[in-house]
Structure 1
C-alpha cells in the first residue's frame, strides 16, 4: 500500500511548500465564492479545506488531485436543496450536511463494490452539457454581484435572468468599476504570469480600496462578518423523508465527481508515472465527504483547475493540501476580521473568471465539427440542466447515454469476407454484399456481441448477402465469430430464426474461430452442437477457401 504523502523528499520539500502557499492563495477566495453559490455561509467553504482535505490527502492514491467543493458541485447543491428549504436558513445548511454524508456513503459503496465504471456512462458530451448548464446558471448570479444588482439566487435560471434584467436600473457604478478592474487583472495575469496568485491579489487590493474609500457606504456589498474558530463536529438531524429526497442529487454529485475525478487523477498519474488506484481514490472521496458533512461543510469533489495549478507549480505530492488545511485553520482562528470587508463584486469576478472554461464553448465547437449527434447530446443535456434543473439534467444525460450506446450497438460492422493474395495465405478483405468467397460458400463476420440491439440487424444483413449472390448460389454459410464476445437470449432467438430461414433454403451453417466463452454460451442457448463448429482457429478460413488447384484434388463431394 502506498504510504501517505508518497513522493515527498528533502529535495522537493521547498517546491511542495511553495505550491502549498499558492494553493492556499487560490483556494480561500474561490471557496468563499463557491459557498455563496451553494447558498451557504463563507465558513462552509473554508471548513471544507481543513478536515476533509486532510483525510483525503492521507488516503488518496493520486499525488496531485485536489479535493474541494467546486463551482458545478456548489450549483448542484443550491439547485437541489433550494426546493427543500430557504437558502441561508439553518434547515438549508443542515440539508447540505446530510447531502454530503450521503455522497460519502455512495463513494464508499462504489469503492467497496468496484462500481466506478458506472461513471463511464457520463461521456464527454454529457459532462460538457451538464457542467456547462450549471456554469451558465452560476454566471448569472456572479454577473449580478459584479453589477451590484440584487437577485434571488434561489430561483431557477429564467427567474434569475428576469431579476437581473429587472434590476439593471439599480446598477452600482462603483461595483462595476471594481469588477472590470478585477476581471482585467485576472485575465491578463492568467495569460502572462500564471504562477502568481492573482485571485488573492485582487481580493487584497479591492478590500483595501473599500476600506480606505468607504465604498461599502456607497452601495458596494461586502462579505460581512465571518465567525471565528475551528469547525465543530456535528450531525444533521432531519426526517427520513428528507434523507430520501436528497438521494437523487447525491447520486448526481457522486457520478459527476467520479467521472471527472478519476479521469483527471488517471491522466496525471500517467503523465508523471506514479501508481493510480481508482477504488482507493473513490474511498478517499467518500471519507472526505463524510468529514465535510460532519463538520459544517458541503459536498466535496475534484478541482480540475487547482490540480492543474499545482502541476504547473511543480507539485507531485499531497503535501500542499496539508499546507492548505493548516493555513485555513490559522485564518479561521486569527484572521477572520480580514475577510469582513471583501467586496462582493470582486468575489463575483473571481468566480466568474474561474468558471468561464466550464461553459464548454470550445468543447461544443469541437463536438459540432467531429460528431453532430454527440453535439446534440451535449446541447440537450445543457438545455435541460439550464431550464428544467440539475436532477432532470443528469437523468436525461443517462437516457441519452443509453440511446447513444444502443444506436452504436445496433449498427455493428458486418462484413462479407473474401480470399485474396496467395491462395495459401489466410488474408481476408471486406467485400461487397453478395460476394461469394468460394463456389457455394459465403463467410460473414459480425464485429460485435450478438444481443437484443443488433440481432435482427445481423439476420437481415445475412439474408441480404445471400439473396444478393443469386438464387441457389450459396449452399454454405460460415459465420466468423472471432469478434463475437457474447450472445444474449434475444440475440439467440433472432439467430435461431435465421437458422430456420437458412434451412428452408438448403443453406448449411457453420461457425469459425469461436471464442471458448462464446462457444459455451452458444451451446447453452441451443444454437450450437459440436457438428456445427467448423473450426475455432485462424486457419479455418484458409482451409474453408482452398485454391482452385486444391479444390480439384479434393473428393468430389467436398469440392
Structure 2
C-alpha cells in the first residue's frame, strides 16, 4: 500500500536542506554550460536559479519537479535567435529575454484555457526524435570545446560538423586530456556513488589544475570574467516585428516543456502519493518564464535529471529549490571571481555527459523492435531537427503526430458480434464474418468515433459483412452497436446515408442499439435515424426483430 504524502516538517527539514545543497552543486555547472550553448553569458544561466526558480517553487503543484533551463531549451534558443542577432551581443540577450516572456504568456494562456491536452500531440517517438536531434547538435559543439577546436557554434549542424572535422589537425592536447579525465571521473563516479555531486567536484578540480599549472598559457580556454551582483529587474524593448519573429520558437519551447513537464510532474506525484494540477503547473511555468525574461535569464522548463536526483536524495518538497536559489544568490554576490578560471573543456565534458541520455539511440532501438512506424516517426523528427532546424522539426513533429493519429483512426476496430453482441459472447473478426450465429441479423460494433477519416471504412466493412453473410444466410437486418461511438461528423454522416440507401436497396433494415443520449441527439440532427429503430440493447434488438437464434 502506498504511503500518504507528507510535506515539509521539522523532521525532514534538514534532509530537504541538504538536498538543496546537492541541487546547487548540480545546477551551477550545468547552467553555466547551458548558457554557453544558448550563446549567452554565464550569468544568464545562474540568474535562472534565483527569481524564476523561487516563484515557480511557490506556485507549482508538484512537490518535486525542478524548473531550469535545459540542454534542449538552450539549443532552441541558440538556433532560433542566432539568425536574428549576433550571439553574445546585447541585442541577442534582449531577444532571449523577450522569448522567455513570450513563453510565459503562452503558458498563462494554456493554463487559462486548459490547453494542456495539446501536449499529448507530442508523442514519445516525436519527443525522442526532436530532443535527440537537438542533443546531437549540442554534442558537436561540446566536442569542439573539449578538443580546443574553434567552430562556428551558431551555424547549422552540417557547418559545425564540417568545422570540427577540418579542425581536428589543430587539437589542443591539453584540453583533450583535461576533458577526457573529467569524463572518466564523471562516468565512473556516477556509477559508483550517484548521490555525490561529481560535476561540482570535477569543476573544482579542473579550476585548481588551471590555477596551479598555468595551462591557460598553453591554449586551454577558461570561462573568463563573470559579472558579479544579484539579478536586476529589466524588460526587453524590441520592435513588434521582432516579437512576432520570436513567436514560433517560443511556441516550440512551450510545447516541449508542457509535454515533458506535465508528464514528469504527474509520474512523480503518482509515485509518491500526492496530487498534481496540470493547469496550476502550466501557470507556474508561465510565472517562471516571465521572471526569467525580467531578470536577465532565458526560457526555463522542467529538468528531468535534476528532479530524478532530488527524488533519489529523498526530497519530497520544493525546499531544495529555495536553498539552491539562496546559494546561487550568495555565489553571484560574493563568489563570481571563483568562476573565472573554470576550464572550458571541463564545462564541455560536464554538458556532454549530461546530454548523452538525451540522444535517444537506445529508445529508437527499442521503437524499432516495438513499432516500425513509430520508429520512422522518431527518426524523421530527429533528422529534420538536426539537419533543417528546430522550428521545422517541431512543425514536422505535429504533422507526423496528425498522420499517426489519422492512420490509427482510419483503421478502427469493427466487430461482427455473434449471438446478442454482449461482451461476454464470442466476437467474430472480418475473416470469419460468415459464421454469424443469429440467422438474418448482423450486429456490427464500431470501436471509434465516426469522422471523415473512417466513415467510408466503416461503410465498406458493413457492406463486406453483408456480402459474406449472404453466402450462408441472407441478412434482413443490420443493427449498429453504437456504444463505443462518441461522435459523428458531417462527412461520416454522408457515408452513413449512402450505406442506408445501399442496405434499403437490398431489402435490409437498419437499426441502432446502445446509443448514448448525446449521440442520439447528434444522429437526429444529422437526419441519420430516419425510419430506423433505436434499441436499448443488442438482445432487445434481436428479440424485437423477431428472429430466433439457432439452437
Shared fold per TM-score greater than 0.5? yes
Partner SS for 1:442: strand
Within-5 A mapping of 1:329-408: 329-408=329-408
Q: Which residue of 2 aligns with 1:272?
A: 272
**1:426 Cα deviation from its structure 2 partner:** 6.8
Q: How does 1:161-176 map to 2 (within 5 A)?
A: 161-176=161-176
Task: Provide the secondary structure at the position in 2 that maps to 1:151.
Answer: coil
Report the Cα offset of residue 542 of structure 1.
6.3
Residue 127 of structure 1 and its aligned partner are, at CA, apart by: 0.2
SS at match of 2:442: strand
What are the equivalent positions in structure 2 for 1:405-420 lying under 5 Å apart? 405-419=405-419
CA RMSD of aligned residues (A): 1.8
TM-score, structure 1 normalization: 0.95
> Where does 1:55-134 land on structure 2 (aligned, <5 Å)?
55-134=55-134
**Would the alpha carbon gap of residues 496 and 192 (structure 1) be closer, same or farther in structure 2, given more than 3 Å must change?**
same
Q: Which residue of 2 aligns with 1:555?
A: none
Partners of 1:10 and 1:163 in 2: how far apart?
Answer: 56
Determine the C-alpha separation between the residues in 2 that align with 1:273 and 1:540: 45
SS at match of 2:480: strand
Note the C-alpha offset of 1:435: 3.5
**Correspondence for 1:486:** 487
Contact persistence 2:59–2:284 (CA under 8 A): yes
Query: CA separation in 1, counterparts of 2:337 and 2:349?
Result: 22
CA apart distance, 1:433? 2.2
CA–CA distance in structure 1, aligned partners of residues 426 and 516 of structure 2: 19
Distance 1:426 1:285, change over 3 A: closer
- Greater Cα offset, 473-482 or 66-75: 473-482
1:328 alignment counterpart: 328
Counterparts of 1:271-290 in structure 2, within 5 Å, are: 271-290=271-290
Distance 1:381 1:544, change over 3 A: farther
Structure 1 distance, partners of 2:232, 2:182, is: 34
Q: Distance in 1 between matches of 2:544 and 2:98?
A: 65
Following superposition, the deviation at residue 474 of structure 1 comes to 1.2
Following TM superposition, where does structure 1 have runs of at least 4 consecutive aligned residues deviating by more than 4 angstroms? 544-548
Measure how far apart 1:275 and its partner are: 1.5
Q: C-alpha distance in 1, partners of 2:207/2:13?
A: 33
TM-score by length of 2: 0.96
Residues 1:551 and 1:173: Cα distance change in structure 2 (over 3 Å):
closer
1:285–1:301 contact (8 Å) kept in structure 2: yes
The question of whether the paired residues in 1 share the 8 Å contact of 2:39 and 2:78 is answered with: yes
* Deviation string, structure 1 residues 484-538 (Cα, Å, up to 9, x no partner): 1111111111100101111111111011111111111111100014x52341236
CA 1:355–1:544 in structure 2 vs 1: closer, same or farther (change >3 Å)? farther
Gaps of 5+ in 1: 553-559
Structure 2 counterpart of 1:46: 46
| 1:443 positional shift | 1.1
| C-alpha contact (below 8 Å) 2:420/2:542 kept by paired residues | no
Q: Does the CA contact (< 8 Å) of 1:16 and 1:317 recur in 2?
A: yes
Verify the 8 A CA contact 2:438 2:550 in the aligned structure 1.
no
How far apart, CA to CA, are the structure 1 residues paired with 2:334 and 2:423? 80
In structure 1, the residue corresponding to 2:151 is in which secondary structure? coil
Counterpart of 1:430 (choices 407, 421, 428) is 428
Measure the CA separation in 2 of the matches of 1:420 and 1:445: 12
TM-superposition CA deviations, 1:161-192 (whole Å, max 9, x none): 01101111110111011011000000011111
Classify the secondary structure of the residue corresponding to 1:229: coil
Q: What's the secondary structure of 2:476's corresponding residue? A: strand
Q: Distance in 1 between matches of 2:547 and 2:242?
A: 74
After TM superposition, give the deviation of residue 307 of structure 1 in Å: 0.3
SS in 2 for 1:474: coil
User: Measured at CA, do residues 92 and 420 of structure 1 come closer, stay the same or move farther in structure 2, by a change above 3 Å?
Assistant: same
- 1:517 aligns with 518
Determine the C-alpha separation between the residues in 2 that align with 1:537 and 1:412.
Answer: 22
For 1:358 and 1:282, the matched residues in 2 are separated by: 23
What is the DSSP-based 3-state SS (H/G/I as helix, E as strand, rest coil) of the residue aligned with 2:134?
helix
In the alignment, structure 1 residue 186 sits paired with structure 2 residue 186 = yes
Whole-angstrom distance in 1 between the partners of 2:313 and 2:282: 25
Aligned residue pairs, count: 544
Partners of 1:83 and 1:434 in 2: CA distance = 64
- The answer for unaligned runs of 5 or more in structure 2 is none
> How far is 1:551 from its partner?
8.6
Determine helix, strand or coil for the equivalent of 1:320.
Answer: helix
* 8 Å CA contact 2:441, 2:547 repeated in 1: no
Q: How much does 1:437 deviate?
A: 3.8
* Aligned residue number for residue 160 of structure 1: 160
Find the residue that maps to 1:479 and give its secondary structure.
Answer: strand
SS at match of 1:485: coil
Q: CA deviation at 1:151?
A: 0.8
Contact 1:442 1:474 in 2 (8 A): yes
